[in-house]
Amino acid sequence: MARIYTRTGDDGTTGLIGGERVFKNSLRIEALGALDELNALIGVARALKLPERVDQILRMIQDHLFMLGTEIATPAAERRPETAVDLEAVQMLEEAIDFYEAKLTPLHKFILPGGGKAGAVLHLARAVARRAERQCVALSRSEEINMQLVSYLNRLSDLCFVIARFVNQHESVAESYPGSGSDSS
């Protein structure tokens, strides 16, 4: 196995699929970094005790995020016509949102992110998904990308929010409300 370090990035650049080198603070690499961070956070959530169905969904999402990263890391001229995510993947997230949301008490006001360990990590994943979405939108303004990726990240942030609430409810952790000074359900 080759060494993990290559020293090729010591000049502030990194390689894309196909060999092109770009600066590490380019829009493409910022988007890749956010996708990687999001995938790692979902891995942290999966390391905590989760209901089996939630863990299965998150595992599938990790696969999708890995494929999205590969797509973003490939310059448009080198990309295959098939995409990492499509309308079907977005709809799958919507179905999961609907499934878990139906099991929750309807929200009538904003809640503070947090709860149990898994719920708090999933709330953080939601925030990172929003950042990844913003960075992909920024990239799309200068380079061609699959815009289904933006839709996917938008729904994924919603799913992280809903699953965070579900996991907290499953663990009997009360939600906190801004300005209330205490937790209540």
The CATH number of domain 22-103+113-170, selected from 1.20.1200.10, 1.10.1300.10, 1.10.10.410, 3.40.50.300:
1.20.1200.10
Query: What ranges do the domains of the chain cover?
Result: 22-103+113-170
Please state, in angstroms and rounded to a whole number, the distance separating the CA atoms of residues 37 and 115: 21
Read off the pLDDT of each residue in 59-84 and give the average, rounded to a whole number. Answer: 87
Please state, in angstroms and rounded to a whole number, the distance separating the CA atoms of residues 144 and 148: 12
75 vs 66: which has the higher pLDDT: 66
- Give the strand pairing for 13-15 and 21-23: antiparallel
pLDDT band at 183 (very low <50, low <70, confident <90, very high): low
**At how many degrees (to 10) do helices 52-72 and 148-170 cross?**
160
What pLDDT digit, counting tens, does each position of 42-61 carry?
A: 999 999 989 999 999 999 99
Please state, in angstroms and rounded to a whole number, the distance separating the CA atoms of residues 55 and 140: 31
